[in-house]
């Protein structure tokens, strides 16, 4: 939100004062349009400003623009669909994804259903394996070893979290790194955390994730994709990541660092997290706690990417609950210049990035 406060010398707004404000607005618009130094955010369509009175000041107020993750994901999925058609035509290959689900968590079932649907929509081949809570670790491992050898499968995803009797890292490590389209294998994580400038003879290009010879976790990639598609400058910006999970916090912090942001990770043991977040130009919230990030934690004009998907009771809804993010969206959107909603923000991007990683994995398999 861009708020322009113009203090008037006394409590009475004269016609002259109003003319001054009008002239200033027209002048500002002229400058931003005519100068070569145009902030990318000014190129985006903005909602019209409205004038309000706040104490004895006149405020021009702009609500934060909402990042439309759904629309971007549709665009990406269409791009992927075209790539899949070309792969089929030129190489007679269909990218294949295996999705392993254990247990009966409703949220995991929904995510897996959405991932399979996306495969279908993009023309990918998908194989689903649904196990009861009681499945043994060996049974899952045997399946993964088979899938590692299966030439029709280019990506293997184990939906997380797993029931507590299963060793999550042991299972994820069993997936061969080339098919780890979730980017959670330790070797893929190690590549992400390396600051080497080259992989073998290849120069590393962090502005093009698809050129990299390893997989990057889908949600973190989706966060950066949203920033890129909304032309948010990352280089030299202060970025604060809230949360340090293997799935989001850690990898997204690494990606921001590789894009030359100055990155801070805030976690459960950080004293005064609000004072750290307040310095951020870019805030990535990935804690998993409904509305924990308040509007007054945010620096005016910052960009907020909300990764949290939390269900809160809502008797007004037919299903009795609604989904909310980690950020107090209604108030935060009045402070941020750009913000993702929940749902409809990062979520759809996670799936789009999974499709993209699977297609890339298929393409890599053709080269090797
Ligand atoms: N559970 C929540 N997000 C993810 C994800 O990105 N990958 C997997 N495998 N499980 C998840």
| Residue numbers of the domain that contains 132 | 94-182
Q: Whole-angstrom Cα distance, residue 298 to residue 293?
A: 8
Q: Is residue 356 part of a domain?
A: no
Q: Is residue 304 part of a domain?
A: yes
Q: Are residues 146 and 267 in the same domain?
A: no
Q: Does residue 18 register a pLDDT over 60?
A: no
The percentage of residues in the chain with a pLDDT greater than 70, rounded to a whole number, is 83
pLDDT tens-place string over residues 221-261: 999 999 999 999 999 999 999 999 999 999 999 999 999 99
In a domain, 188, yes or no: no
Question: For the segment 173-214, what is each residue's pLDDT rounded down to a tens digit?
Answer: 999 999 999 999 999 999 999 999 998 889 999 999 999 999
The answer to the question of residue 211 being in a domain is no
Distance CA 65, CA 104 (A): 37
Report if residue 141 sits inside a domain.
yes
How much distance in Å is there from the Cα of 249 to the middle of ligand 1? 13
Ligand 1 atom with least separation from CA of 161: 1
154 in the same domain as 43: no
Q: Do 238 and 141 fall into the same domain?
A: no
pLDDT at 53: 41
Q: Does the beta carbon of 218 lie inside 6 Å of ligand 1?
A: yes
Beta strands in 87-182 (DSSP E): 96-102, 125-131, 155-158
Query: Which H helix or E strand runs over 242?
Result: strand 238-242
Residues 322 and 247 in one domain: yes
Strand partners, 284: 241, 305
Task: Give the pLDDT confidence of 101-153 residue by residue, as tens digits.
Answer: 999 999 999 999 999 999 999 999 999 999 999 999 999 999 999 999 999 99
- Which atom belonging to ligand 1 lies closest to the Cα atom of 158? 9
Same domain, 46 and 161: no
Are 84 and 360 contacting, i.e. CB atoms less than 8 angstroms apart?
A: no
How many domains is the chain partitioned into structurally? 3
Distance CA(146)–CA(153), nearest Å, equals 10
| Domain presence at residue 252 | yes
Q: Is the CB of 159 under 6 A from ligand 1?
A: yes
Co-location of 223 and 340 in the same domain:
yes
CA angle 38, 295, 63 (to 5 degrees): 45
Residue 78 within any structural domain of the chain: no
Query: How confident is the model at residue 64, as a pLDDT?
Result: 84
Q: Give yes or no for residue 266 having a pLDDT over 60.
A: yes
- CATH code at position 299: 3.40.50.720
Q: For residue 175, tell me if it sits in a domain.
A: yes
What is the residue-averaged pLDDT of the chain?
88
Residue 306 has pLDDT above 50, yes or no: yes
């Amino acid at each position: 939100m861009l708020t322009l406060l113009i203090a008037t010398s006394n409590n009475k707004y004269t016609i002259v004062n109003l003319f001054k404000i009008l002239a200033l607005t027209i002048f500002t618009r002229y400058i931003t349009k005519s100068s070569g130094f145009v902030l990318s955010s000014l190129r985006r369509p903005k909602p019209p400003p409205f004038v309000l009175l706040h104490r004895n000041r006149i405020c021009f107020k702009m609500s934060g623009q909402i990042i439309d993750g759904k629309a971007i994901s549709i665009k990406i999925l269409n791009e992927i669909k075209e790539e899949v058609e070309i792969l089929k035509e030129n190489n007679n290959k269909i990218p294949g994804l295996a999705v392993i689900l254990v247990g009966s968590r409703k949220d995991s079932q929904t995510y897996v259903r959405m991932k399979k649907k996306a495969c279908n929509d993009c023309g990918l081949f998908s194989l689903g394996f649904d196990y009861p809570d009681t499945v043994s670790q060996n049974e899952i491992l045997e399946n993964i070893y088979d899938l590692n050898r299966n030439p029709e499968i280019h990506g293997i995803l184990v939906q997380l979290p797993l029931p507590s009797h299963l060793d999550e890292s042991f299972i994820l490590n069993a997936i061969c790194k080339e098919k780890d389209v979730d980017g959670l294998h330790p070797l893929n994580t190690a590549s992400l955390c390396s600051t080497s400038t080259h992989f073998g003879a290849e120069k590393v290009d962090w502005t093009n994730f698809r050129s990299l010879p390893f997989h990057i976790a889908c949600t973190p990639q989706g966060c950066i994709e949203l920033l890129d598609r909304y032309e948010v400058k990352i280089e030299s910006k202060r970025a604060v990541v809230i949360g340090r999970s293997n799935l989001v916090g850690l990898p997204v912090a690494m990606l921001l660092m590789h894009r030359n942001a100055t990155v801070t990770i805030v976690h459960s043991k950080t004293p005064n997290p609000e004072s750290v977040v307040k310095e951020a130009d870019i805030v990535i919230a990935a804690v998993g706690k409904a509305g924990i990030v308040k509007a007054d934690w945010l620096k005016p004009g910052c960009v907020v990417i909300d990764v949290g998907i939390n269900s809160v009771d809502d008797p007004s809804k037919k299903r009795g609950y609604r989904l909310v993010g980690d950020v107090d969206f209604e108030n935060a959107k009045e402070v941020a210049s750009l913000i993702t909603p929940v749902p409809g923000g990062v979520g759809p991007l996670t799936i789009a990035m999974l499709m993209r990683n699977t297609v890339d994995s298929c393409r890599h398999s053709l080269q090797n």
